[in-house]
Chain A
Amino acid sequence: MTHALAALDAFKSAAPQAGDWASILPEILVAGLGVFALLQALTLPASGRWLIPAVARVGLLLAGFLAYQAGESEGARFGGLLQQDASTHLWRQLFLLCALLTSLVGGRFFRQRGADEAEFHHILLLVTASLMMLAQSSHVVTFFVALETATVGLYVLCGFLRRSAASLEAGVRYLVAGGLSSALLLMGFVLLHGVAGMHLPKGADPLQFASIAAALLGHGGEPLALVGAALVLAGLGFKLGAFPFHGWVPDVYQGAPTPTTALLATASKSAGVVGLVLVVSGPLAPLAAKLSPVLAVLAGGSLLAGNLAALGSSDTKRALALSGVSHAGFLLAGIAGLVTLRSQEGVFGAADIALPIVLAYLLAYVLGTFATMGALAALPAESDERRPLVALRGLIRRSPSLAAGLTLGIGSLAGIPPSIGFFAKVLILWVLVSAEAWTLLALAVVSVAVSIHYYFSIIREATVRTAPDGEVPPRIPLLDRALPLGLGILTVLLGLGSLIKAALG
C-alpha cells in the first residue's frame, strides 16, 4: 500500500507544470493542422481544395517561427518525459523545413496521379509533429512512441499511390524493415531498462534516459546492458539506413512516390541521427569508450557500401538512395567523432561544436536532396519507379531550369565547392581530424572521390549529352521548376556565405 502511495506521489510530481504545454506549442500546432487538413477535406467544396496545402504550408512556417522564437529555452518538461535545449529548437526547424519542402514537391505530384492531397498533408503533418517530439524526448516511452508514430505514417506515405504495384511493394518492404528495426530497438531499451531497474534505488524511473545512464555508469559492463546497447544501435542503424542495415534502402526509395522518397531521405534519416545523438549522449553515454569503435565501423562500412553500390546503379532514384547510405556514413562519422571527443575530454568542451556540425551537414543534405528530388518529381516519367539515368539525357535542352536545379543539387550532394555541401563535408572531416580518427578520415576522403564518379554521370546525362531528336519539351508549371532551381541556388549562396564568413573570421 505504501508503495502504491509513493507511486501516486511520483505520478503527481510528473503532472504537467505551468509552461509545459506552451513549450510544445509548435508540435500542438502542427498536429492540430494535420487533423484540420482532414476536416477541410470533408467540408470544403471542390473549388476550395487549394486551401488545404496552403493552410498546411502557412502553419508549418508559423510553427517554424514559434520554434525559432523558443531560441535558447531549455529544461525538463512534463516531469522529465521531454528535455529541451538549444539544439532541440534547431532539430524542430529542420523537421519543419523537410515537411514544408515535401509539401511543395508533393502537392501537384499527388494531384496529377489521382491521390488525395488532403490525406497526404494530414499524414505528413502528423509525421512531422511526432519527429519534433522525438527530437526532445528523454524517456523511453516518448522516444519509442514518437519514433513509431512517425514510422507508421511513413509506411502509409510509401504505399500512397495505391494503384501502383511498385509503391505498394515499397510500402510493404519499408514495413518489414521498419517493424524489424522497432522490434530490435524496443528489445534493446527493454534490456537497458531491466539493468537500470536492478541497480537503481526504489522510486527512480528506470525508463528515464538519465537514470539508465546513472545505472550504466557502474554496471555498463554487464552482458545484458551490452546486448541492449547493441540492439538499440542496430534498431537506429535500420532507421538511418546505415551499413549493414541498408538492404531495404534502394528498393524502398525507388518504389516510393518521389516526394516520399525525399521525405524518407531527409526527415527519416534526420530522425535516425537525432535518435542516435540522444541515445549516445543520454542512456549510453557511460559506454562511450565501447561505442565509438562500433560507430566508426558502421560509418566506414556505410561510406564504402553506399558509394560502391551506387557506382553500378543505372536508376537515378536507386543511385540517390545508395548515395544516401554514404551520407548516413558521413553523419555517423560525425557522431562517432562526437562520442570520441566527449569520452576524451570527460564532459563537454570542443565536442560541443561537433553536434552543430552534424546539424549543418543535415541541412546541406536536405537542401541538396530536395533540389534533386524536386527536379525528378517535376519531370514527367513513364512510371515514377523507373527513372533510368538515360531518361535524363538532354534535360538541359528540354528544361534548362530543372537541369540547373538538378546539377546544383547534385553538386552540393557531391561536395563540389563552393556549395554548402562542400563545407559540410569539410566540417565533418575536421571533426574526424580533431578526434584523431585517421582510418575513418581516409575512408571519408576516398568515398568522396568515388562518389564524384556517379554524381557526375548524372550531371553529364542531364547537361552534356544531347536529347534524342523530335522530343517535345514538356510543359512544367512554374512552381515545380522554381523550387529545385531556387534550392540549388540556395546551396551555392549558403556555401559562398560560409566562405566569406570563414575568410573574414
Chain B
Amino acid sequence: MESTTLAHHLLLAALVFCAGLTGVLVRRNLLVTYMCLELMLAATMLALVAFSRFNGTMDGAVLVFFVITVAAAEVAVGLALIVALFRRTGAVGSDRLDSLADR
C-alpha cells in the first residue's frame, strides 16, 4: 500500500476527468458525449474514495453513493431525451441537430 500514494490516485482521477472533459468538448456523437460526462463523474468518485482512504474519513465514501444515485437519475432522463430525439429526427450527432439557430 505504501507504494501508491494519494498523489497517484489523484493524478489518475485528474487524467480520467480530463479525458472526459475533452470528449465532451470534442466528440460530436451525443451518446459518446454522454459517456464522457459519466466518465467525469466516475473520476470524481475515484478522487472521493482516494481522499476517504488516505484521510481516514468516511464522508467521501458516503458521498459516492449520492453521486451514483444522482448520476443514475441523470442517465434515466438523459437517455430518454436522446432516444426521443433520435425517434423524432433520426440523428444522434450534435452536428446534425439544427433546429435551433438565429435566422
Contacts and interface: CB of A to CB of B under 8 A. Distances in A.
A205 B59 contact: yes
16 contacts: A7-B58, A141-B63, A144-B63, A144-B67, A165-B89, A169-B99, A172-B94, A179-B24, A182-B70, A184-B40, A186-B41, A190-B44, A190-B48, A207-B60, A250-B100, A255-B100
Contacts of B21: 180, 183
B73 A197 contact: no
A152 B74 contact: yes
Given A165-B89, A170-B100, A159 B58 contact: no
A187 interface: yes
- Of A152, A176, A179, A312, most B-chain CB atoms within 10 Å: A179
B97 interface: yes
B55 interface: yes
A175 interface: yes
Nearest to B78: A175
A180 B18 CA distance: 12
Interface of B: 10, 17, 20-21, 24, 30, 33-34, 37, 40-41, 43-44, 47-48, 51-52, 55-60, 62-63, 66-67, 70, 73-74, 77-78, 81-82, 84-85, 88-89, 94, 97, 99-100, 102-103
A193 B60 contact: yes
Contacts of B88: 162-163, 165, 168
A397 B48 CA distance: 61
A461 interface: no
A155 interface: yes
Given A172-B81, A197-B59, 8 more contacts: A163-B88, A168-B89, A172-B30, A172-B85, A176-B24, A198-B55, A313-B102, A385-B99
A202 interface: yes
A220 to B, nearest CB: 18
A175 B60 contact: no
B102 A159 contact: no
B47 A168 contact: no
Q: What are the 5 closest A-B residue pairs judged by CB atoms, nearest first?
A: A197-B55, A183-B40, A194-B51, A166-B99, A179-B37
A421 interface: no
A176 B66 contact: no
Contacts of A254: 100
Contacts of B85: 159, 165, 168-169, 171-172
A314 B33 contact: no
A194 B55 contact: yes
Question: Which of B57, B70, B82 has most A Cβ within 10 Å?
Answer: B57
Contacts of A169: 85, 89, 97, 99-100
Contacts of B63: 140-141, 144, 190, 193, 207
Interface residues of A, number: 52
B102 A250 contact: yes
B18 to A, nearest CB: 10
Contacts of B51: 190, 193-194, 197
Contacts of A257: none
A327 interface: no
A442 B78 CA distance: 42
A206 B57 contact: yes
Contacts of A202: 56
B17 A148 contact: no
B102 A176 contact: no
A106 B42 CA distance: 37
Given A176-B24, A191-B47, A314 B102 contact: yes
Interface in A309-323: 312-315, 318
Contacts of B17: 183, 187
A251 interface: yes
A227 to B, nearest CB: 9
A33 to B, nearest CB: 20
Contact of B66 (A144, A163, A191, A315): A144
Given A165-B99, A176-B37, A385-B100, A183 B55 contact: no
A3 B58 CA distance: 11
B47 A187 contact: yes
A152 B47 CA distance: 24
Chain A CB within 10 Å, residue with most, of B40, B44, B70, B100:
B100
B74 A183 contact: no
Given A141-B66, A155-B78, A168-B84, A183 B41 contact: yes
Given A148-B74, A155-B78, A176-B37, A194 B47 contact: yes
A145 interface: yes
Nearest to B85: A168
A156 interface: yes
A176 B33 contact: yes
Nearest to B97: A169
Contacts of A385: 99-100
Contacts of A194: 10, 47, 51, 55, 60
Contact of A179 (B48, B52, B59, B74): B74
Nearest to B47: A190
Contact of B40 (A168, A171, A187): A187
A202 B40 CA distance: 29
